[in-house]
Chains A and B, each alone.
Chain A
Amino acid sequence: MNLGSPSAAAAMPVAGVPGRDTVRETTLANGLKVIVWPVHDIPNVALYNWVRAGSRNEAPGITGLAHFFEHMMFNGTTRRQLGEFDRLMEAQGGANNAFTSDDVTVYQDWFPRGALDLVFDLEADRVGNLAFVPQVIESERGVVYSERRLRVEDNNQGLLGEQVQATAFVAHPYQNPTIGWPADIQSWQMSDLQKFFKTYYAPNNLTLVLAGDLVPEHVFALARKYFEPLPRQAAPAPVRTQEPEQIGERLVVVRRKAQTPLLQYAYKAPAAADPRGPAVNLLLSILVDGDASRLHRSLVEDKRVAIEVSGHWQEGFDPGLLWLYLTLPEGSDPAEVQTVLDAELADVVKNGVTAAELSRAKNLTAAGFWKKLATIDGKAQLLGEYEVFHGNWAKLFAAPGQFEKVTREEIHAVARDILERRRRTAGVLMPTSDDGEESAEADIEDADLDVSEDVEA
């Protein structure tokens, strides 16, 4: 068989995303927006309720509150006992989950189409009539604290990430860990809960997105029946704080019992709606996505100084962070790995990326996009992301074209803008033996730092 070399392969064809003409939306009198994508492949429905409240909307004393609501919303209303939400939904074949980020709290239900009426009833009930029962709140504090132990206190990646994020922002509430600081989890008050709920769980602050075996008019009728009685509230106060320009590199060193050292970089990066968004995503893909990515190839395969490299762009309402996460082999010196990593990043900043790299990143991104669109869950999620973070769900249908037209020059420009040492926060987890002694001889580079913190964990 003779096949052309892969680097000569054409870019993935930009087929139009089908379905644009079938999506319907309506906005109720109280400001609740409902978006429906009818898809009849399976007799099921995915519902996403997007609440514009995340750890970004918290202040000292109430960090973790948005996430706490993500738990409390399942714990009973003035009409329904604790546990009934799940019992009723499961008995009609539905399952649910929810997640909280820096920007939003999202409630997800996956159910057979016959459960649609019940799901609307349950969703509207908890927004309209949430119960605030002291002993339920106390019990849920325990659950959330257990989650914190799992994700942060017994998890070195999580622990270091929390420290880096808190250091990267000096003013903006993106410094808050979504799970909340321990003292806040243990001490927020009933009045804090009630105020937060009234402000953010108002119909005008929610967007319902449904994909699946649905008739839009029927969905809108149910939305009117169950949600329209809920009163509109004053719009939440905007987050006014803007993070001031970072004027020098920051470093956090966590010393802790461990076998493997960790290294994280968090660069200041644009907000989700920034027009450079597709270029930022493609840059990240070129750096860390797959075995052929720059950093994997260089650090993991060629030089073998890391065992894993990954990355993440926090695409939020406000300018956030572009993260790189490295797991290092036992006994290695993070400072040496930093030198190698810095050289790779400097090369991208200086010379940009190759045509083959960009083509590969575009094809991987397109494949990921189509993979997501293959399920009703992925459709509901993507529609919601474009509506909430980009202002209009219809932009989803133009997304492949937006990625396709990104040029090498644009990638080079975002690399220069973002991968700037002055605007980064580095985190190092240094393993110590059980008695607290550093187990590896290592010096942490401390040149040109404006902030340096040591955290004993």
Chain B
Amino acid sequence: MIARFLLKMAAATSMVTPRGSGSVLAQTSGGGVHVPTHERFVLDNGITLVIVPRRDVPLVAFNAVLRGGGLGDAPVKPGVASLVAGLLEKGAGNRDAYAFADAVEGVGGSFNAGAGAESITIRGQFLARDQQLMLELLGDALLRPRFEVEELETLRSRHIEMIKAAKDSDPSELIGLYGRAFLFQDHPYGRPVIGSETSLAAIAQHDVLDYYASQFGADRLTLVFAGDVDSAWLKRMVTKVFAGWRRAPVPAAKLLRPARVRDRRVLLIDSPGSVQTYFWIGNVGVDRRYPQRAALDLVNTLYGGRFTSLLNTELRIKSGLSYGARSGFTRGTVPGEFAIHSFAQTEHTAQAIDLSLQTLTRLKREGVTAEMLDSARAYVLGQYPLSFETATDWAAAMGEIELYGLGPDYIDNYGPTLRKVTLQDAREVITEAFPTPDALAIVLVGDAAKIRDQVKGYGTITDMTLTQPAFDPAEVIPVAGG
């Protein structure tokens, strides 16, 4: 089954997705948004507990957010947080890995742990009648993970092999990792949270145990439950299950603001025989608390966030050069990247990149019109409620609000703010948040021998190969056997 357009094409950059509200807003005209009635507690040991009751289906969704994630990794050894997350469900408490999976799947539940740049999250869903089991598994995973060496070895080699497999079958999926390494360099946002083939190979059990000892603790945790729950019961049970969990010995690492690149530089990743060149063009953007977020979402919608965007119009609709082109902002505690993603036939690499840069120049020079802004406003407002239909959606949103310390206004005020965005606001974000075409990190995965001449004018070229076991061209490759 193949689709018209890759809706999730920029997944690797985690596009800024407009968030909307659930059933409460049915009465208001498009996009009116309110966080549903919920309860929020901070338990004695520092755990933040958020409960969002919704009784439409007999399910409970959960989202456990543990502050830290990739920030807790040593700079030279990214990938530890990701392995720690994966191991939480590979044996905990009285259950080994098999018993744990049997417990989850036996009742039709889900339990998925993963690491991001600033947090480890466990998300899942159980039938309401299984919520005691759900709490027991969450408690075991967070308080009593086994971290058995054999499970570590299996998971570590799977992570390494999965990176290799992705290089064979979906290089565009990985390009954001190369892009961030090239753009952010030594800043923690530059590290691949999943690790590199090289860094993963060097991770031992003590790295995992050290991470758990320093980065896990009650004060780092937000627990969100959404669905068919009894708040009083749930609060009592969470207090009991997590009673006595210590605080983390250290607070989560503080992030410095990353520096933008001030010139144009090219990372050319050689994939001999590739018939298409996959490219990523970025610079440092803005953070999660960026005050002009509504205007930012409107301008990015117009630039590269929907089918008729300037980018997709040039690269797909008008020229037929590419299946698609998109742009997006990743906004963390500090500014993440703005990035353009697309691809084109090897022979047309430069033509597609030129068009991308020209649209950026045009945006910076000409801005957007009132008519465009109104169209984007209608689009974002109209799509908004679709992200907030289910208990799972709400569990995710409330976890994000807690992680970044945003408060319910982040959702409640979004619609009203969108309605008020002016052309002046749009001009401001185009100046502040979008990079200038002369200061960009450009990453290309393609047949280097065939594209080098086409791209040498864009800036100083740094070379690496797709099979090199790292995402950062500067990462030192250990001598074999060392």
Contact = CB atoms under 8 A, between A and B. Distances in A.
Q: Do A and B bind each other?
A: yes
Given A146-B323, A291-B105, A97 B30 contact: no
Contact of A363 (B2, B29, B106, B162): B106
Closest 8 CB pairs of A and B: A93-B382, A363-B108, A142-B320, A139-B320, A6-B106, A367-B108, A292-B101, A91-B375
A291 B345 contact: no
Given A83-B308, A364-B105, A95 B383 contact: yes
20 contacts: A6-B103, A41-B26, A42-B389, A43-B25, A43-B30, A44-B382, A83-B308, A90-B306, A90-B378, A93-B382, A100-B1, A115-B382, A139-B320, A140-B320, A151-B2, A153-B276, A290-B105, A301-B98, A360-B102, A376-B389
A359 B2 contact: no
The winner among A143, A258, A360 for most chain B CB atoms within 10 A is A143
A390 to B, nearest CB: 18
A201 to B, nearest CB: 16
Interface string A70-113: 11001000000011001100111111111111000000001110
Interface string B103-118: 1111111100000000
Contacts of A371: 125, 390, 392
Interface stretch (B267-275, B355-363, B474-482): B267-275
Nearest to A12: B108
B460 interface: no
Given A138-B320, A300-B158, A366-B108, 4 more contacts: A6-B106, A90-B307, A304-B157, A377-B386
A248 interface: no
A138 B321 CA distance: 11
Nearest to B352: A146
A310 to B, nearest CB: 12
Nearest to A356: B106
A258 B161 CA distance: 12
A360 B317 CA distance: 47
A422 interface: no
A41 B161 contact: no
Interface stretch (B77-85, B164-172, B198-206, B288-296): B164-172
Interface in A134-170: 138-147, 149-151, 153-158
B165 A153 contact: no
A177 B381 CA distance: 38
Interface in A42-69: 42-44, 67
A407 B170 CA distance: 40
A42 B385 contact: yes
Contact of B374 (A91, A289, A360): A91
Interface string A357-382: 00110111111001100111100000
B169 A158 contact: yes
Contacts of B30: 43, 93, 112, 114
A365 B172 CA distance: 31
A1 interface: yes
Given A90-B308, A330-B161, A155 B169 contact: yes
Interface residues of B, number: 85
A7 B103 CA distance: 8
Given A90-B308, A364-B105, A367-B110, A150 B165 contact: no
Nearest to A153: B275
Interface of A: 1, 3, 6-7, 9, 12, 15, 40-44, 67, 70-71, 74, 82-83, 86-87, 90-101, 110-112, 114-115, 138-147, 149-151, 153-158, 178-179, 213, 257-260, 289-292, 297, 300-301, 304, 307-308, 327, 329-330, 356, 359-360, 362-367, 370-371, 374-377, 434
A357 B164 CA distance: 32
Interface string B11-28: 000000000101101101
B322 interface: yes
Contacts of B89: 291
A6 B94 CA distance: 13
A297 B162 contact: no
